[in-house]
A = this chain, B = another copy of it.
Amino acid sequence: MKRVLLILSVFLSCQLFAIEQMPELKWSLSYSSEKELSVEDPIAAIVPGAVQLDIARAKSYPSYMFSDNYKQYSWMEDLFYTYTTRFKKPVLSSSERLYFVSKGIDYQFEIYLNGEKLFYQEGMFTYVDLDLTDRLQTDNCLQILVYPVPKKQKTPIDRSQAAHVVKPAVSYGWDWHPRLVPLGIWDETYLEKREESHVDDLFVKYILSDNYDKADIELSVEGKALDNCSFAWTLKNAAGKKVLHKQGKLSDPSLLKEIVLENPELWWSHDHGMPYLYTSVFELKNKKGHTIQTVTQKIGFRRVRLVMNEGAWDEPEDFPKGRSVPPAQLELNGRKIFAKGTNWVNPEIFPGIITRERYRELIDLAVDANFNMFRVWGGGIVNKESFFELCDEKGILVWEEFPLSCNQYPDTPSYLSVLKQEATSIVKRLRKHPCIAMWCGGNELFNSWSLMTDQSLPLRLLNSVCLEYDPLTPYNPTSPLYGMAHGCYIFKYFDGREVFEAMNNAHQTAYTEFGMPGISPVEVLKQIIPEDQMFPPKPNTAWQDHHAFGAWTADTWLCSNILKEYFGEASSLEELIAQSQLMQCEGYKAIYEEARRQKPYCSMALNWCYNEPWPAAVNNSLVVYPSIPKPAFYAVSNACRPFCTSARLSKFVWNEDEEFFAEIWLLNDKYEKITPGKMHIKLQAGNDVVEILSWDAPAVEENTNLAGPTARFKLPRWDTDRFKLLIEIDGAPQYNSEYTLLYKPKPKPKKKGTATLNLNS
Interface residues of A (CB under 8 A from B): 305-308, 313-314, 318-324, 326-327, 446-448, 451, 453-455, 457, 460-461, 463-464, 467-468, 471, 474-476, 478, 480-488, 493, 495, 502-503, 506, 508, 511, 514
Contacts and interface: CB of A to CB of B under 8 A. Distances in A.
Contact of A318 (B454, B455, B495, B514): B495
Given A308-B453, A463-B464, A475-B455, A446 B495 contact: no
A506 B320 contact: yes
Contacts of A447: 321, 323-324
Nearest to A438: B455
Nearest to A319: B488
Contacts of A511: 320
Nearest to A445: B323
B468 A464 contact: yes
Nearest to A465: B464
A313 B448 contact: yes
Contact of A486 (B307, B321, B448): B321
A453 B486 contact: no
A464 B467 CA distance: 8
Contact of A305 (B324, B455, B480): B455
A231 to B, nearest CB: 26
B475 A323 contact: no
A517 to B, nearest CB: 15
Given A461-B467, A463-B460, A482-B482, A502 B308 contact: no
A322 B478 CA distance: 11
B487 A460 contact: no
A451 B313 contact: yes
28 contacts: A306-B453, A308-B451, A308-B453, A313-B451, A318-B502, A319-B485, A320-B487, A320-B488, A320-B503, A320-B506, A320-B511, A321-B487, A321-B488, A322-B486, A323-B482, A324-B448, A326-B453, A326-B454, A326-B455, A327-B453, A327-B454, A457-B471, A460-B463, A460-B467, A461-B467, A463-B467, A464-B464, A464-B467
Contacts of A323: 446-447, 478, 480-482, 484
A320 B502 contact: yes
Contacts of A461: 467
Contacts of A467: 457, 460-461, 463-464
Contacts of A324: 446-448
Nearest to A305: B455
A319 B487 contact: yes
A327 B455 contact: yes
A105 to B, nearest CB: 29
A313 to B, nearest CB: 4
Nearest to A507: B320
Most chain B CB within a 10 A radius of its CB, from A307, A324, A514: A324
A485 B321 contact: yes
Contact of A319 (B482, B483, B502): B502
Contacts of A320: 485-488, 502-503, 506, 508, 511, 514
A476 B468 CA distance: 19
Most chain B CB within a 10 A radius of its CB, from A324, A453, A487: A453
A486 B320 CA distance: 5
A44 B511 CA distance: 65
A98 to B, nearest CB: 36
Given A453-B308, A476-B454, A508 B322 contact: yes
A448 B321 CA distance: 12
Contacts of A488: 319-321
Nearest to A489: B319
Most chain B CB within a 10 A radius of its CB, from A319, A474, A511: A319
Contacts of A321: 447, 480, 485-488
A307 to B, nearest CB: 8
Contacts of A460: 463-464, 467, 471, 475
The 7 closest A-B pairs by CB, nearest first: A320-B485, A319-B488, A323-B446, A313-B448, A464-B464, A319-B487, A482-B482
A213 to B, nearest CB: 19
Nearest to A466: B460
Contacts of A495: 318
A106 B402 CA distance: 43
B322 A482 contact: yes
A387 to B, nearest CB: 25
A496 to B, nearest CB: 12
A493 to B, nearest CB: 6
B322 A485 contact: yes
Nearest to A453: B327
B454 A314 contact: no
B455 A306 contact: yes
Nearest to A591: B320
A324 B463 CA distance: 20
Contacts of A478: 323
Nearest to A312: B448
Given A319-B487, A457-B471, A460-B475, 7 more contacts: A305-B455, A306-B453, A308-B451, A319-B486, A320-B514, A457-B467, A464-B464
Contacts of A483: 322
Most chain B CB within a 10 A radius of its CB, from A307, A321, A474, A508: A321
Contacts of A318: 495, 502
A319 B487 CA distance: 6
Contacts of A474: 455
Contacts of A482: 322-323, 482
Nearest to A595: B320
A453 to B, nearest CB: 5
A394 to B, nearest CB: 26
A451 to B, nearest CB: 7
Most chain B CB within a 10 A radius of its CB, from A307, A323, A451, A454: A323
A461 B486 CA distance: 29
A319 B485 CA distance: 8
Most chain B CB within a 10 A radius of its CB, from A455, A461, A502, A511: A455
A461 B320 CA distance: 29
A513 to B, nearest CB: 9
Contacts of A486: 319-322
Contact of A480 (B322, B463, B481): B322
Contacts of A448: 313-314, 324
